[in-house]
């Protein structure tokens, strides 16, 4: 009989200690250690394939002797998902997807499994029965697939036995917190169980070349549940974001060993599944019948994708002694800095004014190129002057009131021209190397915010 013992694990970084400690020596977190029951000797478990038993021990090789393998990525038949993965699924990769409950993680990857008719996919669920998954899949018709297999199981050893029989091309696990391994005697979802199950799935993916998708829960702080080492073990970490009260969802790349780490994919959650939003400006720019003050359009970049974003500002006289500064989707400290610049360099008196700022569409933007658009929206609301909906802005505002250059200005101008804007305001520094002849949109070069306001009022 195996001898058991108790060990304390840090829920943040996965470090272990023979006794409880208040502060983790590895990551510095307080009160993060929990007690778990483990075994000192491993149980024999069935391996998933015979090739591991016959594997030749690794030996060091020179980097020049390593043969480069150019394997094609697997197409998911989803443009947005392909984008965040870096062009498709890499063979043998381990992908972790996190998001709030009910945000649509399971729906998105069940939809992917139904769309990929050319791949044999095993969808393992530890939370739902095959009948419940079938009910959800029926809403996504006419999406259908003869190569999508369902398995309701939480034991890792049982999953590997079924994998050995089915031999899938892609494995989807929903969710990693529900799995348990016979090697660990703690409950499912504990730090040691999540780490052990992920290690076994990682070894399976790397030895067989089968891509594995792990759907994970998140904590109340918004981070993926389990030890932080979980994110270091996987190849790609995706975060599914969105407001429950809005239908749009954003799939954001947090980590990617095979592509860019700043890509986003945008979806609309419908009753029939996730609809790909190939033109994000349709959700970021509202269609208004009447022109309103306090609204301007900014040209932003998220990853490799240019976005035209509507910024809304409301400036009103404060009814109390201390004026309010409230933002949605934007950094409040940067807004305070821009208001100070407008008051010092632009001559506006905002010290007794409430200022509210909103980024339309539910996005969270930290691109400094939106500074000029935000300043214009604030002035527009303060002066109650409407800014034409055919004008957009792309520029960073410095503390001296100067309009600074932003990167990838050609992409921003091209996107504005494609969406029908007639004018765009950019920094004079951006004119170097810019070919004005290939654009039909009128480009205004400005050096400071006062110059922008004068041109808009003329």
Residue 35 C-alpha from the chain's centroid: 32
Alpha-carbon distances, residue 379 vs 126, 247, 338, 342 (angstroms):
54, 31, 11, 8
SS3 371: helix
| Residue 313 phi, psi (nearest 5) | -130, 145
Neighbours of 38 (CB within 10 A): 18
Among the listed residues 230, 271, 330, the one whose alpha carbon sits nearest the alpha carbon of residue 135 = 271
CA distance 124 to 69: 30
Exposed (0-12), middle (13-18) or buried (19+): which is 117, by Cβ within 10 Å? middle
Among the listed residues 97, 88, 54, 93, the one whose alpha carbon sits nearest the alpha carbon of residue 209 = 93
| Residue 159 phi, psi (nearest 5) | -65, -45
CB of 273 closer than 8 Å to CB of 251: no
Token pair of 344 as six digits: 């010092």
CA distance 28 to 202: 28
99 assigned to a ligand binding site: yes
CB of 231 closer than 8 Å to CB of 194: no
Among the listed residues 87, 156, 81, 152, the one whose alpha carbon sits nearest the alpha carbon of residue 111 = 81
| Residue 181 phi, psi (nearest 5) | -115, 140
| Residue 236 phi, psi (nearest 5) | -135, 140
106 assigned to a ligand binding site: yes
Residue 95 C-alpha from the chain's centroid: 13
The backbone region for 102, taken as left when phi is positive above 0, alpha when psi lies in -120 to 50, beta otherwise, is left
181 assigned to a ligand binding site: no
CB of 379 closer than 8 Å to CB of 453: yes
100 assigned to a ligand binding site: yes
Residue 450 C-alpha from the chain's centroid: 37
Containing 283, the helix (H) or strand (E) segment is: helix 281-284
102 assigned to a ligand binding site: yes
Containing 326, the helix (H) or strand (E) segment is: strand 325-328
142 assigned to a ligand binding site: no
Q: Annotated binding site: which residue ranges?
A: 99-106
Q: Annotated binding site for ATP: which residue ranges?
A: 99-106
């Amino acid at each position: 009989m195996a001898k058991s013992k108790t060990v304390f694990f840090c829920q943040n970084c996965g470090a272990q200690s023979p006794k409880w400690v208040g502060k983790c020596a590895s990551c510095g977190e307080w009160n993060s250690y929990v007690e778990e029951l483990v075994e000192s000797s491993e149980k024999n478990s069935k391996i998933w394939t015979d090739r591991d038993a016959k594997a030749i021990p690794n030996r060091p090789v020179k980097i020049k002797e390593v043969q480069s393998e150019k394997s094609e990525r697997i197409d998911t038949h989803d443009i947005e998902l392909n984008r965040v993965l870096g062009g498709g699924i890499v063979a043998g990769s381990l992908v972790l997807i996190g998001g709030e409950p009910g945000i649509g993680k399971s729906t998105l990857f069940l939809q992917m499994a139904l769309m990929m008719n050319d791949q044999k996919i095993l969808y393992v669920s530890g939370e739902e029965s095959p009948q419940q998954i079938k009910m959800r899949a029926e809403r996504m018709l006419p999406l259908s697939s003869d190569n999508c297999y369902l398995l309701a199981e939480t034991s890792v050893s049982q999953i590997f036995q079924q994998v050995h029989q089915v031999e899938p091309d892609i494995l989807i696990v929903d969710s990693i917190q529900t799995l348990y391994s016979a090697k660990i005697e703690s409950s499912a979802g504990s730090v040691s169980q999540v780490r052990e199950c992920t290690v076994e799935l990682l070894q399976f993916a790397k030895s067989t070349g089968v891509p594995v998708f792990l759907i994970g829960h998140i904590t109340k702080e918004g981070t993926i549940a389990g030890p932080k080492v979980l994110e270091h073990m996987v190849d790609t970490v995706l975060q599914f974001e969105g407001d429950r009260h809005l239908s749009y969802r954003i799939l954001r790349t947090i980590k990617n060993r095979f592509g860019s780490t700043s890509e986003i994919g945008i979806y609309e959650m419908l009753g029939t599944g996730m609809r790909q939003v190939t033109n994000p400006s349709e959700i970021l720019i509202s269609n208004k019948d009447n022109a309103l003050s306090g609204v301007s359009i900014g040209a932003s970049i998220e990853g490799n994708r240019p976005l035209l974003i509507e910024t809304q500002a409301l400036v009103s006289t404060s009814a109390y002694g201390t004026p309010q500064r409230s933002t949605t989707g934007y950094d409040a400290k940067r807004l305070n800095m821009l208001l100070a610049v407008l008051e010092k360099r632009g001559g506006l008196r905002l010290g007794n004014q409430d200022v509210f700022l909103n980024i339309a569409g539910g996005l969270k933007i930290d691109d400094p190129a939106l500074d000029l658009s935000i300043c214009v929206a604030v002035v527009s609301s303060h002066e109650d002057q409407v800014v034409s909906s055919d004008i957009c802005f792309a520029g960073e505002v410095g503390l001296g009131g100067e309009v600074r250059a932003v990167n990838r200005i050609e992409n921003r101008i091209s996107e504005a021209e494609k969406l029908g804007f007639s004018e765009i305001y950019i920094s004079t520094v951006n004119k170097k190397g810019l070919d004005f002849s290939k654009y039909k949109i009128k480009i205004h070069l400005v050096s400071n915010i006062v110059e922008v306001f004068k041109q808009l009022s003329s």
